[in-house]
Amino acid sequence: MNTKRERKAYADQMGLFLEHLGLPPMAGRICGWLLVCDPPLQTAAELAEALGASRGSISTMTRQLVQFSLIERVAIPGERSRGYQVRTSGFTGVLKVQYEATVEIRKMADQGLVMLKGESPRARRRLEEFRDFYAFFEREFPLLIEKWERESARARRSK
């Protein structure tokens, strides 16, 4: 059986990892904790205690994680406080946000290519490769999301 210390270490490790992806470390720590804690629904006070963090930090980061659709805020029956848990569809939400960013960056690359119209192929090459890279992922992201959703639904049905 895993100890609370091991679970906290896991949350800390997740915080460091997600920091490399641009999230604040506390957001990653909260995600990590919510992935391994028991019970899976935690109040802000429980998160603050488990992670050794201030309530203000927990409040700020949970709000951001809710916006990113990674976690959800849930009413706790019979209590005034709310709890937080990992969204079962949160992982798909992250890909959808990345997809939207991919579409926007590809559009910016297209704008740059319009600006460079008439320039030599050498002058356009880097931007064309940049655009092609994002156009590729723009085509592939929806397929990956759809494939994951099918596979995830199949796995849930078999449990």
Residue 1 has what pLDDT? 55
CA torsion sign for 113, 116, 121, 122 is: negative
CATH number for the domain harbouring residue 54: 1.10.10.10
Q: What is the pLDDT of residues 69-105, one digit of tens each?
A: 889 999 988 888 899 999 876 677 777 878 899 999 9
Residue 73 has what pLDDT? 95
CATH number for the domain harbouring residue 130: 1.10.287.160
Measured CA to CA, the distance from residue 64 to residue 18 in angstroms comes to 14
Provide the whole-model pTM: 0.72
Which positions of the chain have pLDDT values less than 50? none
Q: Which of 35, 62, 86 is the last residue of a domain?
A: 86
**Structural domain count of the chain:** 2
Mean model confidence pLDDT for the chain: 91
